[in-house]
Structure 1
Amino acid sequence: MDAAQAARVARDVYGLDGTPNRMETEKDDTFRLTLPDGRRFVLKIANPGESHEELDLQVSVLRHLERHAPDLPVPRVFADLRGRAISGITDANGTRRSVRLMSFLTGTVLDTIRPDAGERREIGRLLARLRLALADFTHPGAGRILAWDVRQLPLLAPLLADVEDAGQRRALETGFARFMDLRPRIDGLRRQVLHNDFSRSNILVDRGMLDRGGPARVSGIIDFGDAVETAIAIDVSTALLNQLPRDAEGREVPDLLAEARQLLAGYLEIAGLTDDELSLIPHLVMGRIVARALLSLWRARMFPDNSRYILRNTGQGWAQLDWFLARGADEMSALLL
């Protein structure tokens, strides 16, 4: 969908006359909508393959957080002219699409800067607060099978054969086998509905206070598209993965988790984890690296025009995976204890 079509959707569905600017996303059409008075919104036209139940899960999570944790910096959902949170349109190709309008959160995308220790601890605190706020949340679609839920890594086994580089395939097969050895323990972990994608691309920070001697502030948690009922430890492991060094290739890294521990320390200030969860988290980080590589390589083959965006985090993962594979299972289990 181009900007002109998006402008018509904003006007016809929400009564808003503004200028849409496309935002880079993996599978939907997302625009920052700027009104003449300066107000900004996010207009999301969903991929036709996304079900209404999936979108309703995301909307329901955000509205639950608005009611029960209004101080968390997450987007607000706005109704259309008919009072609906999810609208339906027919695009220029005659395809039915679902539309949502949300608040635009300001800040610097964490993916574009190097976070400091204070920011990492604050990210951990917010992840824990988000978990606690969603502890009693339920939704019919929360139990969906989601490829990005590391609990579902066994379902990605067929993708191993399609990895063209033999060395990369062997590393992924080894990591996959280690995960399978631990599957009974992973299946027994505590579960609830969680964000499941606390990556640097989904966190915004405001460093304005630093200039005045104050603390860094996380100004936004975005993209609840992977929200699902999964293990608490998996949610934490995804956040830790996204704090691993990106330049580990070609240099010795004594402790790959050094900076991730700062995030974990902030998390544990707010919410606890069991020893079993802490012992499994390093293995789950490795499992997420395997899943990310398999899914990204597959999606890049399926959508070559968007391969740059899809593969943006894949390259760094090979050195990270090698670091974990160089350590035995018992050593990995003790990394965070």
Structure 2
Amino acid sequence: MLSDAAAGMEEPVDALLVNSPPPIRLEDAERLARACYPGYAQCVPLSGERDMNFRISRADGGSLTLKFINGAESLDETRMQIAVLKHLEARQGGLGTVRAPHHQPADTAGLAADSGIGPGCDDGAATQDWLSFRISEVAGPVRVRAYGFLPGRVGTAMSAGPQSWRAVGRAAGQLDAQLADFEHPAAHRLFLWDACQVARVRPMLEAVESLDERARIAAYLDAFEQDVVPALAALPSQIIHNDLSPSNILADEAGTDLVGILDFGDMVHAPRIAEIAIAASYQMMVPGNPLDVLSAVVAGYESVLPLAPRERRHVLDLVLARLVQRMVIPSWRALRFPGNGAYILRSRAAATALFNELYDEWNRGAR
């Protein structure tokens, strides 16, 4: 049930913001693992905001992530996430490539014994790229797919310093180089977490309690729509990861380099500088001069993919865009899900402080 404050607010297009993960239990995941992923030895729950995830450990020591997909995710978006893992796997292993999980098709030989599990269906034909899983708690089938579990330390273990910041930028550049020839129609969708579409948060601004914050965000959005959007349309664009946050990167033991990139569910077609801006916005939370962090991330990216001056000019615009998203969208969601408000708002204060600090610099002419 919605809170009174949320009841009159406009609903966004993105159903993933309001649709709960499928109610999959551990025993459900174990049942599917036994039927379709031979060698299964152990299954443990993993965290996930939109989907229900489990780690399957196999007797041979290998591991897979088993993802029970949110019902609001379109079939095209599922196809895109599978296609990108296949694309990246074909390009991994050489110099200058960044690791991503491999896609793991299901073994459908064991399906005959379980009527609740079936192969996926794509344009009328069966596919092993995903499975169709039925449970009594959900009216329709739940899509399930699996991919490799990458070893490494969580991205929050990255040390705060120029070497690490350049490493983040370099990995973003390497990934974008690998994605430069990847295309998929689902990446051109309307998506609330696309920084270039940040003005779509306007109907949600009432969720921001502070009138001063709300006014500042509205002023930023006015300038973004008038001055930045036309300029972005002329910049080099491609499909980007769009969410290189610490939760989606893996660090080495020293905490100074990246060893893997996860979760391609937010991919969009956008100016490639958005990749830099989004990755940098999370690294810029450390004490000190955030623009020094941004410069280091840009330098790392440019060690792989040089930027034109017209691209560099708009990186800060998109840093602010991502910070606005991190301020407004969690505020809106916390009103709709008050019981989970503390978790939803866990990083909003830090994003707000950084936005306020950068906004003054941006408003003085840094843009």
What is the TM-score when the length of structure 1 is the normalising length?
0.89
Q: Distance in 2 between matches of 1:223 and 1:105?
A: 11
Three-state SS of the structure 2 residue aligned to 1:18 is strand
Identity %: 29
For residues 1-40 of structure 1, the aligned pairs below 5 Å read: 1-40=24-63
For residues 1-337 of structure 1, the aligned pairs below 5 Å read: 1-70=24-93, 71-82=97-108, 84-94=128-138, 95-182=140-227, 183-207=229-253, 210=254, 216-246=256-286, 255-329=289-363, 331-333=365-367
Q: Do the aligned residues in 2 keep the contact of 1:56 with 1:86 (CA within 8 Å)?
A: no
Deviations 1:102-160 (A, max 9, x none): 11111111124534332222221111111111111111212111111111112221111
Q: Do the aligned residues in 2 keep the contact of 1:143 with 1:229 (CA within 8 Å)?
A: yes
- Between the two proteins, the alignment pairs up a number of residues equal to 321
Q: Distance in 1 between matches of 2:366 and 2:104?
A: 45
Question: 1:162 Cα deviation (Å)?
Answer: 2.8
Q: Distance in 2 between matches of 1:80 and 1:166?
A: 52
Segment of structure 1 superposing worse, 258-267 or 226-235: 258-267
Q: Distance in 2 between matches of 1:301 and 1:58?
A: 30
Segment of structure 1 superposing worse, 68-77 or 56-65: 68-77
Question: 1:10 Cα deviation (Å)?
Answer: 1.4
Amino acid at match of 1:87: L
Amino acid at match of 2:306: G
Q: Do the aligned residues in 1 keep the contact of 2:154 with 2:251 (CA within 8 Å)?
A: yes
Q: Do the aligned residues in 1 keep the contact of 2:160 with 2:286 (CA within 8 Å)?
A: no
Aligned Cα root-mean-square deviation (Å): 2.0
Q: Do the aligned residues in 1 keep the contact of 2:158 with 2:257 (CA within 8 Å)?
A: no
- In structure 2, relative to structure 1, the CA distance for the partners of 1:232 and 1:222 (3 Å cut) is same
Question: 1:305 Cα deviation (Å)?
Answer: 4.1
Three-state SS of the structure 1 residue aligned to 2:329 is helix
Q: Do the aligned residues in 1 keep the contact of 2:38 with 2:107 (CA within 8 Å)?
A: yes
Name structure 2 gaps, 5 residues minimum.
1-23, 109-126
- In structure 2, relative to structure 1, the CA distance for the partners of 1:285 and 1:62 (3 Å cut) is same
- In structure 2, relative to structure 1, the CA distance for the partners of 1:312 and 1:69 (3 Å cut) is same
Name structure 1 gaps, 5 residues minimum.
248-252
Three-state SS of the structure 1 residue aligned to 2:168 is helix
What is the TM-score when the length of structure 2 is the normalising length?
0.82
